[in-house]
Structure formats: structure tokens, C-alpha cells
């Protein structure tokens, strides 16, 4: 079975994430996408609680067939690093042919990643072009120019006017917005 691992903070997940998964499933020879929210960020980035990010990811990807959300990184040593996750998945599921779904921004930052040079021993890269992160080894960007950082800013500014709410409605799955509101996230 060919499984693409799609890791990230998903703080919060947005339509760019959802479209990346749908695009990969439609254009690549993969059977399933395993969405893996990071447990403890390797770059010491502050994150919303893991349980909230996992639940928002489940909501965001609920309607995408052949996609599941995994909490695997919560069982591994911290900080969470991609190579450790891939090694673990490879041991636990030797029948899987692993792929790693990443944005072109990752190629630009690969020197910061721990043991980046070992990643392709475990997983074939599937690179999606990202606006503002053009790279010679990546295709042209075709997904919307959206980031979780921008979404968090908009969520924090929502009470200040209608523009933020309109943009959020375009870029964040409704179920994720409802969850964030119900749990008081990003205020």
C-alpha cells in the first residue's frame, strides 16, 4: 500500500491543507494520505493544544476519502522530527511504501531539518508548489496563498470588522471555524 504522510502543525488546518491532500490523491499513485499533526514542534514553535489540533484536522479532512488523521507523534520522543516519524511508521507498517507530502517551502528550509538527508531513504517526496516559495525542484504553485499564521491573525482580529470573517470563510473549513470558536482558540 502506498501511503503519503502529510505532517504539519495544522494550527489551524485550512483549505490549502485540504486541497493539497485532495490534489495528491487525484494526481499521485498513492492509496491513502496519513495526516500527522506535530506533537512538539522541532523549532520550538508555540502551538495550540495537541488534542485541539488533532480534532480540527479530523474535522478539516473528514470529507476527503482515503485520508486519516494520526496521533503517532504523541507516542514518540520529543521534539517531533519527521525522520523519527518515518522510521517509526516504516517499522510498524513494513507493507507500506511511504511518501512524504510537502510544500516547496520545506525544500527551501531543508537545511534546518534534522537528518533531512535520510528522509528519502524512508519516503519518496511529493512536492507541491507554494506561492512565495518557488524552488527549482518544485512544480508551479497552484494552491491558494494561505497560511496558518495568517489564519491565526485573522481569527484574532475577527471582532474588529467584517473583512477578517469574509477571508476566514474563504480559507478555513466551516467545521474548523466552529470548533475554534466553541473552544475559544486564537483569541
Mean pLDDT, consecutive 10-residue stretches, the chain (187 aa), reads: 97 97 97 97 86 98 98 95 97 98 90 91 95 86 91 81 76 95 91
Identify the CA nearest to 79 among candidates 129, 29, 120, 115: 115
Q: What is the pTM of this model?
A: 0.93
Looking at residue 159, its pLDDT comes to 59
Q: Report the pLDDT value the prediction gives residue 162, as an integer from 0 to 100.
A: 54
Q: What is the DSSP string of 105-174?
A: HHHHTGGGSTTHHHHHHH-EEEEE--TT---TTSPPP-S-S--HHHHHHHHHHGGG-HHHHHHHHHHS-H
Domain boundaries, the chain: 2-145
Query: Would you tell me how many other CB atoms lie within 10 Å of the CB of residue 72?
Result: 18
Q: Which CATH homologous superfamily contains domain 2-145?
A: HUPs (3.40.50.620)
pLDDT (0 to 100) of residue 122? 97
Contacts of 174 (CB under 8 A, 6+ apart): none
Side-by-side strand order, sheet with 2-8: 67-69, 32-37, 2-8, 97-103, 124-128
Amino acid at each position: 500500500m502506498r501511503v503519503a504522510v502529510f505532517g504539519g502543525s495544522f494550527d489551524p488546518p485550512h483549505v490549502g491543507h485540504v486541497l493539497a491532500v485532495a490534489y495528491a490523491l487525484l494526481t499521485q499513485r498513492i492509496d491513502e494520505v496519513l495526516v500527522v499533526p506535530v506533537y512538539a514542534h522541532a523549532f520550538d514553535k508555540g502551538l495550540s493544544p495537541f488534542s485541539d489540533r488533532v480534532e480540527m484536522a479530523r474535522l478539516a479532512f473528514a470529507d476527503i476519502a482515503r485520508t486519516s488523521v494520526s496521533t503517532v507523534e504523541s507516542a514518540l520522543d520529543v521534539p517531533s522530527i519527521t525522520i523519527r516519524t518515518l522510521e517509526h511508521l516504516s517499522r510498524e507498517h513494513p507493507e507500506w511504501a511511504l511518501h512524504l507530502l510537502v510544500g516547496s517551502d520545506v525544500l527551501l528550509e531543508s537545511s534546518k531539518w534534522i537528518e533531512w538527508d535520510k528522509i528519502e531513504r524512508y519516503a519518496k517526496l511529493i512536492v507541491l508548489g507554494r506561492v512565495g516559495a518557488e524552488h527549482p525542484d518544485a512544480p508551479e504553485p497552484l494552491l491558494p496563498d494561505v497560511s496558518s499564521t495568517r489564519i491565526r491573525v485573522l481569527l484574532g482580529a475577527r471582532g474588529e470588522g467584517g473583512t477578517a470573517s469574509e477571508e476566514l470563510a474563504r480559507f478555513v473549513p466551516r467545521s474548523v471555524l466552529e470548533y475554534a470558536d466553541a473552544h475559544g482558540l486564537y483569541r
